[in-house]
Structure 1
Amino acid sequence: MTPPTPDGRLHDVDAVRGFALLGIFVVNVTFMASGYPGNLVTDPDFGAGLDDAVRAFSSVFVDMKFYVLFSFLFGYSFTLQMAAASRAGAAFPARMVRRIGGLFVLGALHTVFLYGGDVLTTYAVACLALLLLRKVADRTALRIAAALYTLVLASLVASALLVDRSTFLPSEADALANGEEATQALLGGWTANIGEHLAGLPLLVLQAVTLQGPTALGLFLLGMVAGRRQWLNRVRGNEPVLRRIQWIGFPVGLLGAAVYAASGGNGNTLGVAASVATAPLLAAAYVATLLRVMHHPRTSAVRAALAPAGRMALTNYLAQSAVGLVAFTGIGLGLAGTFSPLALLAFALAVFAAQVGASALWLRRFRYGPVEWALRWLTNARRPAFVDRADPVHVAENDARRPDHASSA
């Protein structure tokens, strides 16, 4: 069994969150580096076989899978927040409303200044609904989650069958022209980039209402049930259920992902429906595999490497957007449109590796990531200690004695 460690954290949860952070960045960086993906077309400068192979790899193994995982972990951490409030004798709804407000403001600023594809605002709104549903029975929570997912899938299928997308989507030539224009906007300064971010708000809101919001809430509820039952608190790595999840999740999840990739990715609504339907199974198989790896004596170092990045997930998420802004826009190096898919994948892996190392170094000195510290201050309405003055290297050992300490997103 793996109960919370002496520092009061669930390192499995932190490590899985760190893993999800990598997948999120691999997807997001494609939109940070070029205006073509946002217009559902391929940059004509990168149409070689290797470029197509890398894009296909991302479509099958990465796209739409890690958003699912991140949402599930958000719901799991919601229960840890509830437990922390209970231990501190604090009113949980007031704490969570402050936290939700902080997330929404962070998301709004993120959208305007760093990256137009923000998810924090969607999470904040969906979390309001989760707060209202926090006392429902597990069976009811699972039924609501299933109903939300079914509704999303039904709307996608109905849209694919009943709506002629050519009536409101631009032609390929127009989409390519729009992609070139968007790439040039990236190469501009603050005015051009903020303008692009604001111009994308209607689509961002539409996606949040019709797809991301309902699926996020459904996965929040599933994560809440898992957190209540402490599924990730008792993992040993040799449970038969982990193998069963792999045996089911990989074939079904990869089949749906292959359909999504072969049908044109986000440009085909039925393909998106296939991915939405099967991505949770593939994400679950990823988690089962990661848990088995992390609990094997020979590969347990994987958890130690990923956990600090996951513990600072919010800081790292925002930092990834800042790196993308500096690297690709005219505000910084102006490299938009110059990275092939393979180079972009290597860039994402390199940035994440740097974050893994930096997070470990940071947490040897400080209790929390800087954004996590500020959000905790707002959540608890009390300034938390940032540095352990007595012995900063052993911050975590002292955290275990604090009533409001808990692993959180």
Structure 2
Amino acid sequence: MKVERVDMMDALRGFALIGILLANMLHFQFGSAGAEIIESANGLNQISYYFVKIVVEGSFYPIFGFVFGYVLMKMVESREVSGVKYKNIVFRRAVGLSVLGAMHIVFLWEGDVLLTYGSTLFILLLFFLKRQVKTYFVWGAILTVILGVGAFFGSNFLQLIKPLTTADIMIYQDGTYVEILMQRVGDFIGAGGLFLLITLLIVWLFFLGVSFLMVGPFVLFGMGMAKKGAFLQLENGMQTYKKMALLVPVGLLLKGIIIFDTPYSLFIYSAGTYVLAIGYIALFAWLFNRYQTQMNHYFAPIGKLSLSNYLMQSIICTTIFYGYGFGLFGQLGVFVGILLSVIIYVIQLKISQLYLKRFSLGPVETILRWFIYFKKPQKPE
């Protein structure tokens, strides 16, 4: 029996990428000082900020995690049907993503997610690849509850995040590549050899748990839905997707609480991010069934090259905002950042469409496949 490839996942991944870019743009522009900068903003920039916070932020990385889990499970099922051992493949994928993520953090930008997904893969490999459907949903729910409790007490944690000083901002605006690199990793480089290795190991083990906690719920939900065979026959679930799409306005209302300063704002907002993510997935499935040709044309190409496009977004944006490029860190408003995100995404979309006319894999995807399979990469999984 052949395991069917679900085309919607490529398009859904491409859709998630625009949301991730919009959310990341705040950090590219302002770093950890963003909240303080926005507090003094007004007019269009303030409206744009709350648009990103309510409509985008926190609700697109769960979609990406859902696709990640769904595709992973389909890959495992495909290998089982073919009689191919898959654990070594998953292990090398985890190592490859982790290495790419670590390099991304050190040499380019600290807001990486590849290390997060690579770390999560290690835990999935150890505990979750051969489970019943119910197990995926139960553990996904448990992790969601833990995150909810964390969000309830999250305001105290957020106060521990160190905002950028004026000197830090000047480094990002005017610094050389080496100065900005040292700004990111200087504290670790200052440690001694053995102590550094031990520290990195402890940090990575801690990061392993945090990564699984952060992206694990929707990764597990995606794995469970894949095992159930969801989205294989979209027309059979149209009424369900249409009803669940009503979670979009519910999620927006819940996230809208962030405008008001209450003791429960962060908790309600966090719940809204997940509700909205589920609504977006359902709405996308409903639209994909009705407009499959158009959705595949506009979203699938960039989704198929998501790894290369994600890293290219970091290269483009750090060049625009950091001192070794145009040095516009903290100088453009949030509204301009949104426009810039759309322009970058549209350019990447057109380039992806042209690229896929000649190649089946992106450049970074090809390198990762070489590492995973030790042979010439084949078509995407």
Please indicate the TM-score interval, normalised by the length of the shorter structure.
0.7 to 0.9
Give the corresponding residue for 1:352: 345
Q: 2:139 pairs with 121, 124, 144, which one?
A: 144
| Unaligned 5+ runs, structure 1 | 386-398, 400-404
Q: 2:183 pairs with 189, 196, 208, which one?
A: 196
Q: CA deviation at 1:31?
A: 1.0
How far apart, CA to CA, are the structure 1 residues paired with 2:26 and 2:157?
27
Give the corresponding residue for 1:394: none
Asked whether the equivalents of residues 244 and 279 of structure 2 are also in contact (C-alpha less than 8 Å), the reply is yes
More helix by share: 2
How far apart, CA to CA, are the structure 1 residues paired with 2:357 and 2:161?
51
Say yes or no: does 1:250 pair with 2:248: yes
DSSP 3-state at the match of 1:16: helix
Give the corresponding residue for 1:369: 362
Give the corresponding residue for 1:306: 299
How far apart, CA to CA, are the structure 2 residues paired with 1:108 and 1:164?
24
Give the corresponding residue for 1:292: 286
Asked whether the equivalents of residues 119 and 211 of structure 2 are also in contact (C-alpha less than 8 Å), the reply is no
Give the corresponding residue for 2:218: 219
What is the aligned residue count? 365
Q: CA deviation at 1:169?
A: 6.1
DSSP 3-state at the match of 1:30: helix
How far apart, CA to CA, are the structure 1 residues paired with 2:81 and 2:178?
47
Q: CA deviation at 1:381?
A: 2.2
How far apart, CA to CA, are the structure 2 residues paired with 1:224 and 1:325?
34
Q: 1:259 pairs with 257, 282, 293, which one?
A: 257
1:1-400 alignment runs, 5 A limit:
9-35=5-31, 37-38=32-33, 40-42=35-37, 47-132=41-126, 133-160=128-155, 163=156, 168=160, 175=163, 178-187=164-173, 188-198=175-185, 208=207, 212-236=211-235, 239-247=238-246, 249-263=247-261, 270-297=264-291, 300-384=293-377, 399=379
Q: Percent identity?
A: 25
C-alpha deviations, 1:319-350, integer Å up to 9, x for none? Answer: 00000111111121222222111111000000
DSSP 3-state at the match of 2:84: coil
Q: CA deviation at 1:213?
A: 3.2
Q: CA deviation at 1:261?
A: 4.0
Q: CA deviation at 1:260?
A: 2.8
How far apart, CA to CA, are the structure 2 residues paired with 1:273 and 1:50?
27
Instruction: Tell me: CA distance 1:250–1:147, structure 2 relative to 1, closer, same or farther (3 Å).
Output: same
Q: CA deviation at 1:275?
A: 2.8
How far apart, CA to CA, are the structure 1 residues paired with 2:239 and 2:86?
36
How far apart, CA to CA, are the structure 1 residues paired with 2:52 and 2:322?
23
| Unaligned 5+ runs, structure 2 | 189-199
Q: Which one-letter code corresponds to 1:22 in the other structure?
A: I
Instruction: Tell me: CA distance 1:210–1:359, structure 2 relative to 1, closer, same or farther (3 Å).
Output: same
How far apart, CA to CA, are the structure 2 residues paired with 1:17 and 1:189?
34
Q: TM-score, normalised by structure 1?
A: 0.81
Instruction: Tell me: CA distance 1:261–1:127, structure 2 relative to 1, closer, same or farther (3 Å).
Output: farther
Q: CA deviation at 1:143?
A: 1.2
Q: TM-score, normalised by structure 2?
A: 0.87
Q: Which one-letter code corresponds to 2:15 in the other structure?
A: F
C-alpha deviations, 1:164-196, integer Å up to 9, x for none? Answer: 976x567xxxx5xx3533322212111222123
Instruction: Tell me: CA distance 1:327–1:200, structure 2 relative to 1, closer, same or farther (3 Å).
Output: farther
C-alpha deviations, 1:104-136, integer Å up to 9, x for none? Answer: 000000001111111111111111111221112
